[in-house]
Structures are given as structure tokens and as C-alpha cells.
Amino acid sequence: MANLNWSGIFPAMLTPFHENGELNFEMLSINIEAQLSAGIHGLIFSGSLGEASTLTTEEKFEILSYALKVVNGRVPVLLNITENTTKAAVEFAKKAEELGADGLMVLPPMRYKGDDREVVAYFRTIAQSTKLPILIYNNPVDYATNVTLDMFEELLQEPNIQAVKESTRDLTNITRLRNRFGDRLKILGGVDTIIVESIVVGADGLVGGLVDAFPKETYVLYDLVKKGEIEKALELYRWFMPLLELDIHPKLVQYIKLAASKVGLSTPYTRAPRLELVGEEKERVNKIIDDALASKPQF
């Protein structure tokens, strides 16, 4: 079983589309290269921000295969699992391993809200089906399932369950996890609006959203905090915050794609049921992005 270095920034990558809804691999390659040249540490594909809900299983594997070719071993490439059944999740994990993924991010069962025992069994069954390192995505705010410390106690019996994307929005949970599990469970902060705080209280790294549009700024912010240069970090963080708040809205995909398209790192197109922004909302989000671009710090 491989161990991943779970330190650093792991963008939840967008899935760029052509206007007709087809996958835009050329734009995906441009974004991958921008992330790598900024210094990020790993890439996660086909997550919520990657519009997993509108991708077919075949497309997810196409994206993985393409990304592995582009990345060519420079950083770990992870694929996200959002299946409705344990059987489908196991098959998905095996196929991802076969294609060469370096790790998996796994959400709880999507359509059925399991109780604690059922959720633990789901995660453990997937872990037992693959040698790939696993990042558990814990986001009770959006997915109504909270993976508690007691549940992690059971989950960590599986050696390849190695990390958590911590999106409870409760910063004290990072300290609770660290107190209970030490370094056995790596912690990645999963909410853009508290990334600085997450690192300060002990997260090993970040799974980011706005990094899709602003890889360099995200890397510099992370680096400043890790070096203890908090005053400089806060100055950058205050500039960044109106953008980071785009990540905690139900339309985060449309918002972040719009931002990334303005800097040449994505197209703005999404698949229905997501629709193009219109009216006051479109004006408001454009203004947030344009104001930030006009005052962008220079490095």
C-alpha cells in the first residue's frame, strides 16, 4: 500500500466543458499546468466542484487517464468517488487503481443517508477493495453525514484510510482530531473561507476551490502561513476573502468557473441543471471577481 504525502494544497479541479457540453481537455491541461507551475502538491478530479453529478462514470475515467498523462508523475492524482451503492463504489475504486490513480477521495453514500454503522461499513468496504490511499470527505453541512471521532476510530483500522478533508466548518474539530489520532490521520482543511485558520491550528494541508482560478495566490498564502509570516498572510487573505466566499455558495461551480474563465484557466460553461448566471446575480459576481483582479497583489 502506498502512502501519500498529504501536506500542501490539493485543488478540487474544475471540469471544463465546451459550449456544447463536451469535455474540454485542452483547457483542463492548461489549468493543470497552471497549478503545477504555482507549486501545488496534488490534484483531485471529479469532485463536487468538478461537477461529478453531471459526469458519466466513463467520463470520470477519461478525465483521470488524461490527467495522469499530463501530470506524468509530477504530483499525486486523486479521483473522487460519489457512488450511491457500495458495489458501484468498490468497482469504481478498483478501476481507478487499475488506471493508475495515486489515491481516492471518498464521499459518504449520496442518495441514502446512512447511520454511523452503515457509513463506516461503506468506507471500510471501499478501503478493503483497493490498495490506494484514501481521503475521507467529511462535509456534514452539504451532505448531511457527519463522520465523528468515534467513526474515525473504526475507520483507521484500515491502513489506507489516511486523511480527512475536514469541511465541518468547526475549526475546533481539527484540534480534536489531532488530539485523538496524532499524525495517524492527516487533516486537509476543506473550506476556502477558513484556510488560514485551518493551517494555523494544525491542518496538514488544504483542498481548495478558488485555487482553480488563483493557483499562485493560494500557494503564496499557504506558504506565508507555514513560514509564520502571519501579517503578510493576513494582508493577502483580506484581499482574497471576497473571492473565497464564492466557494461556500450552492452555485460555487458557476462562480468559480466564471472566475477561472476570466484568467484563462477554464471555460464558464456548465451542464444543466446548472444554468448560466443572469441578471443581478451575474452582475454581482462579476463585480466581485473584477474588483479582485483590479487590485490583485503582485509577487
- Is the residue at 21 inside a domain? yes
- pTM beyond 0.95, yes or no: yes
Q: Are 1 and 161 a contacting pair, CB within 8 Å?
A: no
Those residues with Cβ within 8 angstroms of residue 297's Cβ, 6 or more apart along the chain or in another chain? 217, 235, 236, 239
- Is the residue at 48 inside a domain? yes
- Is the residue at 2 inside a domain? no
Q: Are 77 and 64 a contacting pair, CB within 8 Å?
A: yes
Q: Which stretches does DSSP call E strand in the chain?
A: 8-11, 43-45, 77-81, 103-106, 134-138, 161-166, 186-189, 205-208
- Is the residue at 36 inside a domain? yes
Q: Which domain holds residue 237?
A: 8-294
- Is the residue at 243 inside a domain? yes
CATH label of the domain that carries residue 136: 3.20.20.70
- Is the residue at 148 inside a domain? yes
- Is the residue at 276 inside a domain? yes
- Is the residue at 116 inside a domain? yes
Q: What is the pLDDT along the chain (299 residues), one digit of tens a residue?
A: 578 999 999 999 999 999 999 999 999 999 999 999 999 999 999 999 999 999 999 999 999 999 999 999 999 999 999 999 999 999 999 999 999 999 999 999 988 889 999 999 999 999 999 999 999 999 999 888 999 999 999 999 999 999 999 999 999 999 999 999 999 999 999 999 999 999 999 999 999 999 999 999 999 999 999 999 999 999 999 999 999 999 999 999 999 999 999 999 999 999 999 999 999 999 999 999 999 999 999 88
Domain count along the chain:
1
